[in-house]
Every structure is written in C-alpha cells, then in structure tokens.
Structure 1
C-alpha cells in the first residue's frame, strides 16, 4: 500500500464522516486547525475523520486534558468504513456539554469487520469542544 497505513484514508473527495460534503470544506479545516467545531456532533464527526485518516495529533488535541491519554497508538490494520450518528443531546453552539451516540464500522486487512457503538461525552473548554470520554455499548 505504498507505505501508507491500511487505515489511512485520502482526504481527497467526500469527507469520511458521511456528511456528503467534500473533505476540504467539512472536516478538513477542523483537522488542519483552520476552524473549530461549532457543535459536539461536528467535533465527533471530525474525530471519526481523524481516525479514518490516522491523525493522532488531532485526536489528542481535541481530547479533554483530564481524560486524555499520552498516546493512542492507532491500529494501522484498521480502515474505518462508515459512521452513523444515532442521537445527540445538547452539544449545540450555546451549550456547555453534550452527548453524541454513534455507530462506526471498520474492516481490517484480513477482511474482519466490526462496529464500535459508543455514547460519547463532550464539554466546551475555553470556548472549544473537547471529547471527555465514552461508554461502549
């Protein structure tokens, strides 16, 4: 795969988050630090995209410092294949916290597939959304 991790997606074309927008106008500017997520859902979608393109630095930057690990160690054999937002509670532009429930699907090099069902908590810190933690279902 030309040295690229199996899980890393190309940022050309449609955004991995499933918004149907181009990466360059959807999650791309968030990952590049050109724009902040306005809602908890937008942050969650951009974090999914960061997993899809293997951007560990963005994932750590958008993680609450109280709960953030030192490293993630993204799995290079995993390719994220889809995102379905199940529900959101709060997390709007004027809220201090929010919850986003989602299901993300993946496949690995040997063809094994799976899904991650999580209820994620977010908080606004210093005017920006951060991921606090999640409960797997």
Structure 2
C-alpha cells in the first residue's frame, strides 16, 4: 500500500480524496483504511504544496544542533506550522526525519537543495534570495513582453 501511495503522490503531488478512493477500490480496502495509513506517515500530503518546499531536519544530530530553533524561525517568518502551506501557496513547511546529512547539522532542504550548518540568520537570507529571484523573473518577463 505504501509504495502505491508514494507513486500516486509522486505523480499528482498530493493524495486527493478521489485518489484514496481509487487506491482503496483497487486493493479491495475501505477508503478509511487507506486514509488512516496515509495520515500515519508524514511523507504524505493531502493539500497542494507551495511553490517552494522547505523541509527542516529533526533527526538526532540536527535536533541536538538546534534544528528546533531553525524550524521555529521558519514558522515565525511564514506564519504557518509544519505541514501547512502559506495562503498564497508560495511556501510549504515540513518537519522531517533524518535526511542523511548528519555531518552538516542542522540541515534544511529547500526545493531539494540541502543547506547545511543552518543558523537562524540564514532563514531570513533565504527569503531575500527568493525575493531577488522573483524580481529577476518579473523583469525578464517584462523584457520579453516589450521585445515581442
């Protein structure tokens, strides 16, 4: 069941109620059994993720090195809790188990890029980078529109 749910989420980014019903039907299970198992594991999501996915490692090494403080900084900056997405769907925040980069603790994974030795001050810097990238994309789009 878990590999099937992973494949469905891999394709559609979420486990929608319809997808859960289809998996249940395929496996001759009840939807509540499938949903119950899916909600037990934090790897499954039921709402669309944000444009930028932020995962904060809470494995032992990261926790001891201050991962909880890093997570709290992201929570304050985004005004959301782990497992949530900002109302503008720009950012999703997740608390995850070990990501396998213990030597770099504490670690955050932002859009599949590992950021080691995270510090609270780096949290603000990430959002500055996002803003710069957003402005750059906006200007490139404007330049194409005026040239075309």
Output the TM-score relative to the length of structure 1: 0.25
Relative to its length, the structure with more strand (as a share) is 1
Relative to its length, the structure with more helix (as a share) is 2
